[in-house]
Amino acid sequence: MHQELRSVQAPVVFLLNGIGDRLLALPALRALSQMYPGQIRLVGAPGDSSLFFYQELGLMKVHEVRATTQGTERSIDAETLQQAVGTCDLFICFNTWHATGVSALLEGFPPTTETVGLYRRYKQWVRGEETQHMLDRLFALAQRLVPTLRLEDFAQAPVLTAETTAAARSFRDSVPKGARVLALHTETGSRKQWPVARYRAVLDAFLERHPEWLVLNVDYGATELEPMVHGNRVLAAQGAPLEAAMALLGACDGFLGIDSCMLHAADFFRLPSVGLFGPTSPSQWGFRLTPAFRELTGNGSMDDLTEDAVLGALTDLAAGRLRPA
């Protein structure tokens, strides 16, 4: 680390992306927390004060602010942001968007404040490649301060509370001996979803061929998978808080789902996984950590993903044949 950055007194992290993006930033945040133990103030989204995977970081304080979205444009009130940030001598922005309110903040910093971010406006501009995985791109923000940092040293699964860990263990203990559990997650923005009827068909075919498997649906909402022939082997964690749902996912033997925070959680837990992608790129948003996965792409549309392709991938998952493409 540059000598002047070793001695900063008021580092601020600005991170106002979605839940999945915040999870992908976790290794970088762990590295920064190791550099500046107990010193980091985080400016984040509403609810971040209690976000479970932030609790391990030992943050000095979390300031919650709100951004608005109109079309594809994000905006944030400049005065609100400036009050939340306050005085800082190191400002690290993890946001994958930029807005005029942020520009005003940067312009108001004294010359001695170092800024690091993903856009040209930052003194330390960390450029990303189109094909670079977002986990690596966000970790590069910490590497700009200490180039020798290694992602693998900070990429363990999210730390869970003892209570949640015990609940996940209890669930696993309740599963019949010899059974295996496939975690399923179907919820996300509409353009990244796969039709529920196709999940029904694939899961029924998979469960028919593999009587040793159960399915655990970790969707928060009431995804209607019935009617299914094998619906009695589909369990649900409907309404479970985020930490509980991720803990249950981590207790499973495999994962099937779309580009979402749960896909990233499955990756952190190193589960054998099948990911379904349409409008988003798996090279940026797919699996990065688990050694056994299959990413199925729909050439820009989820409608192009076939039931046969998904069933084939699940069959390979059950047989231990998943490998990176």
Task: Please give the CATH number for the structural domain made up of 162-318.
Answer: 3.40.50.2000
pLDDT at 7 over 90: no
pLDDT for the residue numbered 3: 60
pLDDT for the residue numbered 223: 82
Torsion of CA 322, 154, 170, 175, to 10 degrees: 0
Euclidean distance between the first and final Cα of the chain, in Å? 36
Asked whether the beta carbons of 133 and 286 are under 8 A apart, the reply is yes
Mean pLDDT calculated for residue range 299-319: 94
For residue 175, the SS3 value is coil
Task: Please give the CATH number for the structural domain made up of 3-153.
Answer: 3.40.50.2000
> With the C-alpha atoms ordered 107, 108, 109, 110, is the resulting torsion angle positive or negative?
positive
pLDDT at 325 over 90: no
Asked whether the beta carbons of 215 and 237 are under 8 A apart, the reply is no
HEC string for 54-114 = HHHHCCCEEEECCCEEECCEEECCHHHHHHHHCCCCEEEECCCCCCHHHHHHHHHCCCCCE
Mean pLDDT calculated for residue range 54-61: 96
Domain span(s) for CATH 3.40.50.2000 in the chain:
3-153, 162-318
pLDDT for the residue numbered 129: 80
pLDDT for the residue numbered 2: 63
The encoded tokens of residue 257 equal 């789902």
- Categorize the per-residue pLDDT at 128 as very low, low, confident or very high, splitting at 50, 70 and 90: confident
pLDDT for the residue numbered 222: 75
pLDDT at 323 over 90: no
pLDDT digits (tens, 9 = 90+) for 85-95: 999 999 999 99
Asked whether the beta carbons of 303 and 312 are under 8 A apart, the reply is no
pLDDT digits (tens, 9 = 90+) for 241-272: 999 999 999 999 999 999 999 999 999 999 99
Mean pLDDT calculated for residue range 165-171: 97
pLDDT digits (tens, 9 = 90+) for 268-292: 999 999 999 999 999 999 999 999 9
- Categorize the per-residue pLDDT at 73 as very low, low, confident or very high, splitting at 50, 70 and 90: confident
pTM value is 0.94
